Structure 1
Amino acid sequence: MLQSLRDKTSGLIAKIVLGALIFVFSFFGIESYFQGRNETWVAKVDKTEISPDQFREAFQNYRQNMMARSGGQLDPALLERPEIKRQVLDTLIDRQLLLAANEKLGIVVPDDRVRDLIRSIPQFQVDGKFDEASYIALLAGIRKTPVAFQEEQRQQLAANELPTLIGTIGIVTAKEIDAHIRLRDQTRDLRTLTLPKPAGEPKIEDAEVEAFYKSNTADYMTPEQVALEYVELKASDLKIDETPDDSVLRERYEQEKARYLTPEQRLASHILISAKGGDADAQKAALAKAQEIAKSAREGKDFAALAKQSSEDLGSKSQGGDLGWLEPGVTDAAFDAALFALKKGEISEPVLSAEGYHVIQLRDVRERKEKSFDEMKPELAKAYLETERESQFNKLAGNVVDVASNDSGSLEPAAKAAGVAVQKTPLFGRGGGPGIAANPNVIKAAFSESVLIESNNSDLIDLGPDHKAIVRLAEHKRSEPRPLEEVREEIRTRLVKQALAKQAREQADALLARLRKGETLEQLATELKLSVAEAKGTGRGAANVDSRIIAAAFKLPRPAEGKPEYGQVSLIEDAYALFAVDKVTDGDVAKVDDAGREAVRSQLQNLEAMASTREFIESLRKVAKIQVAEDRLQ
């Protein structure tokens, strides 16, 4: 298919051969001197490294997805926990294991699937059709080349290949579908007796409070807190010359002239006739068919109708062969040459590519355009100021870091170098505080060994785009036990709650034992002056019965005829409920139509596929050499 972009390069392709000359010193008592390579990977799967950039991008995507799902209500600090970061890394490791397995098994994702995937992404479409300009512009906005983006999409597809294949292996039988329906739609006849909380309040002696305090002092500690001094750097505070000289802008314009050039574009349609089989006879048949189609188009037959009737490019067939606006170098070389040799309205002879024979129609032409210096001057000035600000900010930050490192006992020299004042936070704990103390990176630095224990200036901390800080410890308030008198009533309340909970549980246990010895719920209800609630035909999702009772009831075995199965469950506020399961009725398979059975089959197959894929990945993990650098999970 020609709807998407092929890999392209511009300029000279440089092949740089790096040679290493190694001198080995073998004198007795003198070690050889080598400059070791600094390892930066966060994980290594056999010989393939997962870089910090790959991890950061995956973690950022995960964080954005979680925040979007929670509607922005999730505390971002919760996502910074080590176990969360390790889960994200494990996903990358699993993906690499699958990609390596693909390579060993010879599984390859064809180019046309990658192209179709890219063309289907809504962000790259205008009026429902893939738009080349939007594609290039959006990739430029996230600083990715088409080649790099295509490779990412290829890997994403490749990582799903084996799980998809594994999912097609499992067979769900009609018997399994019936069993699932019977269990899913099962109902139970229930009777419930809700017990009130125990009356009265247990008396807690002072000695009990004191003994509990001594045994659980760790529960009554003041939080550890710190206050920080900090130097804050903001690029927005820098004073930049906002009237750059025209000569500077013109030089920049000449250097980046290619950016302001819109190449010639051609609006094309095509009809693809593939040479199935690949032998000489298939090639001849495909060529003859393509020639006949080209002849019909030249004789006036509607090209779009011919495409819908005969094209074998599924991606463009329904659009009458429309490929949209194409630039030079976007498509296959032979297709490209033929397209840009046509005049508006012309139909090409059949053009051979790896996909088959193409008949091309040139529908319109957009001439090559170049924006002048005067047109681009405002944009050039804006870009220049941004670059200058970034350059000066980076230079300033580097200088401040050097000063802070050389004099780690104070922030005053660093503040002087930055031209700002040293600021101070209020005391805050490991959960953060106001201002910069709310930033996870600041919290992490504040409680790091270097800052908290060794009283050093921190490294440069990232607070956001062009926003940095360096911190040092100003005050440290250690965690210590709160006085007994301060927490006495808190402990007493806790002990009362525990005693009431114990009484409620003992009461429920005793009553359940009586039920299992032969008494009935009704007898207990009469004794306790309570009533029994009936709920016949209760399903798993019933709304008229407490979900905790339903969950517990569906765990009990089927009752024998005339012999209920009894259970108990704790409710809110230390209340308990006793319940009886009198009858179990399986779901009626006959009431589920073909569509419902197919939905069950798909669900069971998906569950089986997930379990099988997990087992397969675990088997890959057992034979792979996996290394993780926990300290680099930033």
Structure 2
Amino acid sequence: MLDFFRQRAGSWLVKIILGAIIIVFIFWGVGTFRTGQKNILAEVNGQPITFTEFQVLYNQRLNQLRSLFGPQLNDELLKKLQLPAQVFEDLVRRKLMFQVAKEMGITVTTKELQIAISQIPTFQTNGRFDPRKYQLVLRELRLTPKEFEDLIKSEFIEAKIKSLLLTPIVATSEETKEWYIFQNEKLKILWAKLPISTCEKEVKINEKEIKSYYEANKERYKTKLKIALTYYFLPFKSLEKEIKITDKDLKNYYEAHKKEYTLPEERKLRHIFIARKKGESEEDFLKRAQEIRAKIKAPKDFAKVAAKYSDDPHTKDKGGELGWVKANEISQNLREVIFTAKEGEIIGPLRTPSGYHIFLIEKIKPAKTKSFEEVKEEIRKKLIETKLKSYAWDRAEKIYDKIVLVGGLKPWAQKENKTLVTTPLFSPDSPPPDNHITNDVISAALKLSEGELGPIMEVPEGILIFKLTKKEPPRIPPLEKIKDKVVRDLKHEKAQELCAEKAKHILEEAKKGNYQKVFKKYGLTFKESEFFTREDTEILGVPPQVLREAKTLANPGQWLDTPVLTGDAIYLVKLLEIKPADMTKFEEEKKLLQDLLTRQKREEAFNDWYKNLREKAEIKLYHELPKI
């Protein structure tokens, strides 16, 4: 069994992510991939996937990515993600799951859907499902309730199928023990490094090879989209003096918002907490609490009794002092009792789930409303701040109108003697160090044509009016412009191949004889690692790729059959020693590990089951998937 785990080390080092289903939608996408033709993209075992289904899911996923990556979501990244293919596979999976569910007699009831949706926090108000909020949120997401409920239903269906198929699969105690041993035994490796740079000296290339390499790898040298913006910044602060607030405005606000300036009642408390002892009956527990209460003859005795008898480690040494508290800082079941008691009164013992409590109301500060004079300047600042943004937007809109009338940002700036800022060319995923160039500004700029004026935008500390000064699309530079880089890349690639062959030859020699002499013969540096477990993710001096591969080794003296290639070197790796796992914590961790291993086994079983289901399915794709 242990050998089985060692052979499959890589597959057991995956992350198992468990959690609630989270569905995020940002904006409804625009445009269609197909209009005016039959609305069927494909069939799964005779059941259609429509263009509408594809478009809806594609737009949802695209906007999720836009929300996640912002301006960094460019054409290159979208191509790598292969979004159309992902969306199509998701739709195929849904169809297959619904078909299997029908065969197995699995259904999702309306009640189940209602409960699931009602428990989503986004649709709740004060912890309770709010139908009005549900409708509003879906409206903002441009989803009908049926569309949203179908999405939830598809997740339910898959979960039920998994439950039915996978419940019998359980990790045994023996498997769990073997896994624990495998993960916690300690390894020590030797590794030798062959730098790629040593092989580059031996590489010879000619012009024909350079041209061929350039032609075969053109896309690698494609430049990123670059833009430059010219903008006028209108700071909020520069307009503060123009905002006029009268005493009447201040008084009107004060009268309308008096509650904001009312200080709630506060009470200074002392506290004795009495915890229930193991095996103590409820009757004896109450009796002991009452006996402690009886020891407090007067308020002056409270601190001494608290110091001696309280089970609260945080307040015991301070005589039970809690300090000043407000009503909303006290648990609801104690609040009314404490805040209706008189100054100097001792309350308790009061029973709560955690134990008994005794309180002393030391002092009371009544609720107080601050006077107008006390808060006058605070209100002035608040009103200025409130009016400032509106005033700034009005000013910016007037400026914008003038810019349009005079024919552009630059003519307006010259006429009004205003300063403009022009950024250098930059890639949207690497903006300049300018606080005014936010992700929202970049996103807006990417929708503009060169020379076009953008929308008015609020940025930190002010308003921005900008135009797209230059837009340099991605392009593949001619060979003569990037020849040095192409030559470096070609040399490095050839050197990697050369070093790989050399490393194999060195490895064969090292296996046969004294590896230390072999390494010295070829000028390789070699080191021994510290001991590590297969759960460790970082070891001093060992590259991550080397560490990952080394974890698959099972027997001392064993070499990795294939040298490990990193960016700048090739490594030969040998397992020197294994220390047995420390089993002292096994019983403590056994349940958690068994659950984890069970989930892993079930996930692998389900993936194999679905792969087989997908391979047997009859999938007919009638049209090419939309290209990005």
- 8 Å Cα contact 1:316/1:322 also seen in 2: yes
Q: Cα RMSD between the aligned structures?
A: 5.9
Alpha-carbon distance in structure 1 between the residues aligned to 2:540 and 2:350: 66
Alpha-carbon distance in structure 2 between the residues aligned to 1:305 and 1:171: 56
Partner residue in 2 for 1:220: 221
Specify the code of the residue in structure 2 equivalent to 1:388: K
Query: What is the CA distance between 1:238 and its match in structure 2?
Result: 1.2
Alpha-carbon distance in structure 1 between the residues aligned to 2:549 and 2:604: 33
Alpha-carbon distance in structure 1 between the residues aligned to 2:180 and 2:544: 21
SS, match of residue 226 in structure 1: strand
SS, match of residue 266 in structure 1: strand
Structure 1 residues 436-469: Cα deviation after superposition (integer angstroms, max 9, x where no partner): 6753222222223xx148x7643443422x4232
Taking the TM superposition and a 5 Å limit, the aligned residue runs for 1:346-361 are 346-348=345-347, 359-361=358-360
Structure 1 residues 330-388: Cα deviation after superposition (integer angstroms, max 9, x where no partner): 65788556545544323347778899986542212334444333333333333333233
Alpha-carbon distance in structure 1 between the residues aligned to 2:261 and 2:206: 84
1:436–1:418 distance in 2 versus 1, CA, 3 Å = farther
Partner residue in 2 for 1:134: none
More off after superposition, 216-225 vs 330-339: 330-339
Specify the code of the residue in structure 1 equivalent to 2:371: S
**Alignment size in residue pairs:** 454
Partner residue in 1 for 2:483: 488
Structure 1 residues 491-515: Cα deviation after superposition (integer angstroms, max 9, x where no partner): 2232222222211112222444566
Partner residue in 2 for 1:344: 343
1:296–1:438 distance in 2 versus 1, CA, 3 Å = same
Partner residue in 2 for 1:325: 324
1:208–1:289 distance in 2 versus 1, CA, 3 Å = closer
Alpha-carbon distance in structure 1 between the residues aligned to 2:416 and 2:591: 62
1:234–1:270 distance in 2 versus 1, CA, 3 Å = same
1:495–1:191 distance in 2 versus 1, CA, 3 Å = closer
Please state if 1:265 is matched with 2:266.
Answer: yes
Query: What is the CA distance between 1:218 and its match in structure 2?
Result: 2.5
Structure 1 residues 10-69: Cα deviation after superposition (integer angstroms, max 9, x where no partner): xxxxxxxxxxxxxxxxxxxxxxxxxxxxxx96499xxxxxxxxxxxxxx99x99xxxxxx
- Listed as ranges, the gaps of 5+ residues in structure 1 are 1-39, 45-58, 64-75, 87-96, 105-110, 112-169, 620-634
Query: What is the CA distance between 1:477 and its match in structure 2?
Result: 2.7
SS, match of residue 484 in structure 2: helix
More off after superposition, 267-276 vs 487-496: 267-276
1:227–1:531 distance in 2 versus 1, CA, 3 Å = closer
Partner residue in 1 for 2:426: 428
Alpha-carbon distance in structure 1 between the residues aligned to 2:408 and 2:208: 50
Partner residue in 2 for 1:473: 468
Query: What is the CA distance between 1:202 and its match in structure 2?
Result: 2.9
Partner residue in 2 for 1:498: 493
Taking the TM superposition and a 5 Å limit, the aligned residue runs for 1:55-134 are none
Partner residue in 2 for 1:203: 204
TM-score (norm 1): 0.53
Partner residue in 2 for 1:385: 384
**Percent identical residues:** 22
Alpha-carbon distance in structure 2 between the residues aligned to 1:554 and 1:100: 45
- 8 Å Cα contact 1:549/1:569 also seen in 2: no
- 8 Å Cα contact 1:240/1:388 also seen in 2: no
Specify the code of the residue in structure 2 equivalent to 1:503: L
Query: What is the CA distance between 1:390 and its match in structure 2?
Result: 3.2
Partner residue in 2 for 1:184: 184
Partner residue in 2 for 1:372: 371
1:433–1:260 distance in 2 versus 1, CA, 3 Å = closer
Taking the TM superposition and a 5 Å limit, the aligned residue runs for 1:272-287 are none
Partner residue in 1 for 2:90: none
SS, match of residue 204 in structure 2: coil
Structure 1 residues 277-314: Cα deviation after superposition (integer angstroms, max 9, x where no partner): xxxx97x9988777665554346793345557777889
SS, match of residue 238 in structure 1: helix
Please state if 1:569 is matched with 2:563.
Answer: yes
Alpha-carbon distance in structure 1 between the residues aligned to 2:597 and 2:396: 51
1:556 to 529, 534, 553: 553
1:272–1:605 distance in 2 versus 1, CA, 3 Å = same
1:471–1:287 distance in 2 versus 1, CA, 3 Å = same
2:459 to 459, 463, 482: 463
1:520–1:486 distance in 2 versus 1, CA, 3 Å = same
1:587 to 551, 575, 580: 580
Alpha-carbon distance in structure 1 between the residues aligned to 2:347 and 2:517: 93
Alpha-carbon distance in structure 1 between the residues aligned to 2:326 and 2:303: 21
- 8 Å Cα contact 1:346/1:362 also seen in 2: yes
Query: What is the CA distance between 1:210 and its match in structure 2?
Result: 1.8
- Listed as ranges, the gaps of 5+ residues in structure 2 are 1-23, 29-65, 84-111, 120-125, 127-169, 606-628
1:205–1:348 distance in 2 versus 1, CA, 3 Å = closer
Specify the code of the residue in structure 1 equivalent to 2:234: L
More off after superposition, 174-183 vs 194-203: 174-183
Alpha-carbon distance in structure 2 between the residues aligned to 1:189 and 1:429: 44
1:100–1:411 distance in 2 versus 1, CA, 3 Å = farther
Taking the TM superposition and a 5 Å limit, the aligned residue runs for 1:299-338 are 302-304=301-303, 306=305, 322-327=321-326, 331=330, 338=337
Specify the code of the residue in structure 2 equivalent to 1:556: L
Structure 1 residues 195-243: Cα deviation after superposition (integer angstroms, max 9, x where no partner): 8934843332212222222222333344433333434332112153577
Alpha-carbon distance in structure 1 between the residues aligned to 2:462 and 2:228: 20
Alpha-carbon distance in structure 2 between the residues aligned to 1:340 and 1:539: 59
Structure 1 residues 576-628: Cα deviation after superposition (integer angstroms, max 9, x where no partner): 454555x6443264xx7xxxx33x66667666667778999999xxxxxxxxx
